[in-house]
Amino acid sequence: MISLIVHGGAWDIPDAEIDAHRKGCLHTLKTGWNTLRSGGTAIDAVEQAIRTMENDPTFDAGYGSHLNLIGRVELDASIMSGKTLRCGAVAAVQRIRNPISLARKILAESEHILFVGDGAERFAKEHGCELCKPEELITKREFDRWESLKLRKNFKTKEAFSKPKRPSDTVGAVALDKDGNVCAGTSTGGTMNKYPGRIGDSPLIGCGTYADNETGGVSTTGWGEAMIKVVMAKTVIDLMEINGGHPQEAAMKGIEILHRKVDGFGGVIVMNKHGKCGVSYNTPRMARAYINAKMAEPFVAI
Ligand code: GLY
C-alpha cells in the first residue's frame, strides 16, 4: 500500500496561520502523492514534499525560517532510505534554499553522512546545487519576530522552548513506495533566536529522522535539545519493532517518554512498513496530513 504522511511542525501555531498551514500541508501532500501514484520512489516523494514546504514561507524550513541570535537563517535537514539505511544530512547552512535536496545528494553521492556550514556549501557547489544569498531566506514576518525577541534582553532559549508556546517548527515526511521501500526526511530553520552554530535534532539521524524497511519511518518536530536526549526517531522505531508494528501506539509512547524523561515538547509522524500511520504530539497544535492507496481523500489537521 503506497502511503505518504507529512508534517508542518508542532507548537502553538497562531490562529491567523492555521489556514496557511492547512493549505501548505495539503499542497505538499499532493506533490509527493503524485510522485508515488505515478510509480515514483519514496525518496523522490519525500524530497519533493519537503522541498515544497521549504519553498513555502509558512513553515520553519528553507525560506521563512526563524532567525538565529544574530539575525541569520541557519538550516538543518536529513533524509534516510529504509532500503539501504543510507542517509544524508546538512547542518547550519546559510546559502542553501533547499537543504533537503543537498541532503539527498549526500545520501546518493557521498561516502559521508553529515556536512556542516562551509563544507556543506562547497559540496553543494561541486554537485550542482544552487546557492542563494543568505538574506534571500529571510521573510519580513521572521525579521519582525526576531526584532521583538532581540529587544527582550532576558530571553532565555531553555525557558522559551521547555513550554509548549512557540509559533511553529520544522517540516518532515515519510513515504512508502510500490516496491515496499520506506524513506523519511526532516528539514528546519531550528529554534527561534538560537545561538549561532546551534544544531538541533533534525539533521541527526536517529534523533530527527529514521527509516528502515524492516520496521518503518519517523520524522520529528519540537524542542531539538530534548529530542536528542531521547534519540527520538530511533526510539519510536524501536518501540514499533517491539510492539508488533503499531505506529500510533509507538508514537504515543515516544511522546510520553519525551515528556517524562526530559520534560520535552514536540511531535512525531510514524509509518510502519505496511504504510499505516500514527501521529502524536504534546504541544497545543501540530500541522499534519496523510494519504494512502485506500483513502479517497487526504486527511489534514492542525
Ligand atoms: N526540531 C527542530 C530543532 O529543534 O531544531
Cell 529522522 appears where? 209
Asked if 238 and 264 touch (Cβ cutoff 8 Å), the reply is: no
CB of 181 closer than 6 angstroms to any ligand 1 atom: no
Ligand 1 centroid to residue 223 C-alpha, Å: 5
Q: Which atom of ligand 1 is nearest to the CA of 190?
A: 5
CB of 190 closer than 6 angstroms to any ligand 1 atom: yes
Ligand 1 centroid to residue 8 C-alpha, Å: 12
Question: What is d(CA 300, CA 247) in angstroms, rounded to the nearest whole number?
Answer: 18
Strand order in the sheet with 87-93: 114-116, 87-93, 75-81, 182-188, 171-176, 3-9, 287-292, 299-301
Question: pTM of the predicted model, to two decimals?
Answer: 0.95
pLDDT of 160:
53
Mean pLDDT by 10 residues, the chain (302 residues): 96 90 97 97 98 97 95 97 98 97 98 95 93 96 87 56 65 98 98 93 98 98 96 98 98 98 96 98 96 95 96
Going by C-alpha positions, the residue among 178, 186, 175, 201 that lies closest to residue 82 is: 175
Asked if 232 and 127 touch (Cβ cutoff 8 Å), the reply is: no
Ligand 1 centroid to residue 203 C-alpha, Å: 9
Three-state DSSP state, 293: coil
The fourth-level CATH superfamily of domain 3-301 is (Glycosyl)asparaginase (3.60.20.30)
Q: Which tens digit of pLDDT belongs to each residue from 6-64?
A: 999 998 888 999 999 999 999 999 999 999 999 999 999 999 999 999 999 999 999 99
Is residue 170 part of the annotated active site? The answer reads: yes
Going by C-alpha positions, the residue among 91, 101, 97, 90 that lies closest to residue 63 is: 97
Strand partners of residue 216: 212, 272
pLDDT of 165:
57
CB of 187 closer than 6 angstroms to any ligand 1 atom: no
Asked if 165 and 6 touch (Cβ cutoff 8 Å), the reply is: no
Q: Which atom of ligand 1 is nearest to the CA of 222?
A: 1
